[in-house]
Amino acid sequence: MATYFWGGIFCDREAARFRKVTDSARELLYLALPADAERLVLDQRLAQETYVLWDLIHDRTHSRGDLPFDPFMIKQRMPFWMYALEELRCDLSTFRETVVLDEEGDPLAKYIRYAILFDRLFRFPITGNRVRNYDGLGGQIMFAHLHKTAALQWTDNRLTFDWEKVTPAVIELCEQVEALYHDGINRSRLAQWIAAYEFVKSLVPPHPGSTWAKGADQLPTAGELKAVVNLVLDDEFPLNVFYETLNRKLADVVASTKGIAA
């Protein structure tokens, strides 16, 4: 009987979507891709194999590490940035793990890093609407951190990466999220939600009309937890000007990838 791997499902279409959106984004942003990244964008088979390994490591990570809650968050109602951080944590951990795999000679490791980087930065934030879009927020967090650390720059409508800084910056972000999780074990659920909000807020500015952004003193903390969840705006962390531009230019490309498999 064949072994069932959830992580290997739909990787053909995910790889195809990645290739099309990344190719359009690099043209729009005048982004010069390294040779390995270029190879990944051009080769569907390579991209598909890369996505299978990425997903397998990602899914395993949901049950690894310091976990202040059910790692799969099944049927738990909580602010959507908690889901964003969990999915991002797994991708960041996968990214870091590829450094080890690289040292061990795994041929796909370097491609996984490009796949995580470009899918998180280009496709995820502008896919779907803005209603509690936790995958989109994860991409916004990564973009903000890389921009803050000068690992990427968007100047004169051109996107550039300082490739020597990218890997250390992503690993640094991974460690920051893991520290948030580690400390969360000693917090109440609400305290962890607030700490996580402050972490996200430090990178991605919240909506000007947000009650959460005003601080814990403005939240109904004495009542049931659903009362504070109900105050979360549908678009609690709006897109920045970079993503507003990207969305205007690439929305049709993203929409065209629905159902694509090669």
What is the per-residue pLDDT across 122-165, written as a single tens digit (0 to 9) for each? 999 999 999 999 999 999 999 999 999 999 999 999 999 999 99
Is residue 1 one of the residues assigned to a domain?
A: no
H or E element: which one contains 82? Answer: helix 80-103
Range with the poorest average pLDDT among 51-65, 145-159, 209-223: 51-65
Contact between residue 65 and residue 183 where contact means Cβ atoms under 8 Å apart? no
Over residues 71-105, the pLDDT tens digits come to 555 556 899 999 999 999 999 999 999 999 999 99
Residue 179 has pLDDT above 90, yes or no: yes
- For residues 172-181, give the mean pLDDT: 97
Contact between residue 141 and residue 88 where contact means Cβ atoms under 8 Å apart? yes
What per-residue confidence (pLDDT) applies to 213?
Answer: 97
Residue 220 has pLDDT above 90, yes or no: yes
Residue 198 has pLDDT above 60, yes or no: yes
The parent domain of residue 120 ranges over 6-256
Is residue 68 one of the residues assigned to a domain?
A: yes
Per the listing, tokens 């899914």 go with 59
Is residue 233 one of the residues assigned to a domain?
A: yes
Going by C-alpha positions, the residue among 146, 104, 94 that lies closest to residue 121 is 146
What one-letter code names the amino acid at 17?
A: R
**238 confidence band (pLDDT: 50, 70, 90):** very high
The neighbour count for residue 74, using CB atoms within 10 Å, is 6
Spatial separation of the C-alpha atoms in residues 29 and 246, rounded to whole Å: 9
What per-residue confidence (pLDDT) applies to 259?
Answer: 84
Length of the chain: 262
Is residue 116 one of the residues assigned to a domain?
A: yes
Domain count, the chain: 1
For helices 11-28 and 44-61, give the axis angle rounded to 10 degrees: 110
DSSP structural state of residue 213:
G
Is residue 156 one of the residues assigned to a domain?
A: yes
Is residue 262 one of the residues assigned to a domain?
A: no
Is residue 75 one of the residues assigned to a domain?
A: yes
Going by C-alpha positions, the residue among 126, 159, 132, 116 that lies closest to residue 26 is 159
Residue 246 has pLDDT above 50, yes or no: yes
What per-residue confidence (pLDDT) applies to 10?
Answer: 78
Instruction: Report the mean per-residue pLDDT for the chain.
Output: 93
